[in-house]
Amino acid sequence: MEHTLSLEFLRVVEQAAIACSTSIGHGRRKHSDKLAVEAMRKAMESVRMDATIVIGEGERDEAPMLYIGEKVGMGPDLDGHHPQVDIAVDPLEGTNLCAMGAPNAIAVLAATEKGGLLHAPDLYMEKLVVGPSAKGKVSLDAPVQDTLKIIAQSLNRQVSEITVSVLDRPRHEQLIADIRSAGARIQLIGDGDLSAAISAAVSGTGIHAVMGTGGAPEGVLSAAALKCLNGEIQGRLKVDTNTASREKAEAMGVDFGRIYFTDDLCPGKEIVFAACGVTHGNLLKGVMHFGHGVRTSSLILTYGSRQVRFIDTVHMKEGEFTTVRF
């Protein structure tokens, strides 16, 4: 699957990113998301796979396409050459970022063999993300100060040299206070903790950890990327005060007391993670339009083949006198 579908998934996220890039800064988050969803769904139609959306735009009655359980790709073939695939998508991770023209909006897809992704309900998840050096040394239940000391020691740094990415939400007021009290630095982000999670696993981004509560679907997508990058995510599913949501989740087998680790969220052995920048960010440049085409910056991770590929693509417009811009 990794060998045959990696470049196909690259094309899928590129098309989603290009489509919604035309709406950057327009202040219409739902419109931006709609453009990305439609483009991603259309691009998937020609992919030679028998795939199922396990994390998408919501339940079937909540989304017109890329809903949970939707079959995508060309479907099964008689010779069995189309692999069965489970897919998690976020056609526009950071809809608000795109709408406001802010950094780190990306189009994302993760794919594994059948059963390789946790079917996480649309709940909250308390998360801790670290890079390879701190993997296996930290705990979601440990005090913030202790966790930051371990991360700093694993990187041969002082706590004051560690930067933690946290979603800027009222619910994180105490967490932010604890991080500051420990002496670490904070990068407050308005949206898009998936991009931050990838940054925490890669050296040179200036982000060393992610803490706080965000979306559970994004947690599963993060796990796919982190597994390829030797990073670690720990997460505990949470629900708001909606009793019906909790009962529905428990009926699906959700254990709210359990800490889910990277392999729990993404147990797959064949993994492809694809992301394409929409707006400029820590890892990827955003979509750049020029007179004769579009330029995209993408990331492809594969677990089995242990490859990390950064791909810069120029999409040329048709025409005999089209000029490529470097």
For residue 133, the 8-state DSSP code is G
282 or 300, higher pLDDT: 300
> Given this model, what pLDDT does residue 241 score?
63
> Given this model, what pLDDT does residue 218 score?
95
Cα–Cα separations (whole angstroms), residue 117 to 51, 219, 263, 300, 314? 13, 11, 9, 18, 32
Q: From CA 171, how far away is CA 187, in angstroms rounded?
A: 16
SS3 of residue 293 by DSSP: strand
Q: Are 166 and 186 in contact (CB under 8 A)?
A: yes
CA contacts within 13 A on the Cβ side of 200: 33
Q: Report the candidate in 227, 223, 273 with the shortest Cα–Cα distance to residue 107.
A: 273
Mean predicted confidence (pLDDT) in 208-217: 96
240 or 59, higher pLDDT: 59
Q: Are 49 and 21 in contact (CB under 8 A)?
A: no
Mean predicted confidence (pLDDT) in 303-310: 95
Q: Are 208 and 151 in contact (CB under 8 A)?
A: yes
> Given this model, what pLDDT does residue 31 score?
97
Rg of the chain, C-alpha, whole Å? 19
Print burial letters for 189-225: b (CB count within 10 Å at least 16), e (below 16). bebbbbbbbbbbbbeebebbbbbbbbbbbbbbbbbbb
Mean predicted confidence (pLDDT) in 39-61: 92
SS3 of residue 132 by DSSP: helix
Triad 213, 263, 220: Cα angle to 5°: 40
pLDDT band of 325, cuts 50, 70, 90: low
pLDDT band of 160, cuts 50, 70, 90: very high
Q: pLDDT tens digit string along 126-153?
A: 999 999 999 999 999 999 999 999 999 9
Mean predicted confidence (pLDDT) in 291-311: 94
> Given this model, what pLDDT does residue 243 score?
54
Identify the helix (H) or strand (E) that includes residue 238: strand 232-238
Q: Report the candidate in 132, 136, 109, 121 with the shortest Cα–Cα distance to residue 224.
A: 109
Cα–Cα separations (whole angstroms), residue 16 to 215, 232, 245, 283, 320? 21, 28, 30, 18, 27
Residue 326 pLDDT exceeds 80? no
Print burial letters for 244-258: b (CB count within 10 Å at least 16), e (below 16). eebeebeeeebeeee
Average pLDDT of every residue of the chain: 93
Q: pLDDT tens digit string along 198-209?
A: 999 999 999 999
Q: Report the candidate in 200, 204, 198, 261 with the shortest Cα–Cα distance to residue 225.
A: 198
If you write DSSP's letter for every residue of 181-210 in order, what string do you get? HHT-EEEEESS-HHHHHHHHHSTTSS--EE
How many Cβ atoms from other residues are within 10 Å of residue 293's Cβ? 18
Residue 15 pLDDT exceeds 80? yes
Mean predicted confidence (pLDDT) in 20-27: 97
Mean predicted confidence (pLDDT) in 164-181: 97
> Given this model, what pLDDT does residue 320 score?
74
Mean predicted confidence (pLDDT) in 187-202: 93
Q: Are 313 and 298 in contact (CB under 8 A)?
A: yes
The phi and psi torsions of 130 (rounded to 5 degrees) equal: -135, 165
Helices and strands per DSSP (H, E), number in the chain: 9, 14
pLDDT band of 122, cuts 50, 70, 90: confident
Mean predicted confidence (pLDDT) in 72-82: 87
Identity of residue 90? D
Q: pLDDT tens digit string along 233-283?
A: 999 999 876 655 677 777 777 788 899 999 999 999 999 999 999 999 988
Mean predicted confidence (pLDDT) in 9-32: 97
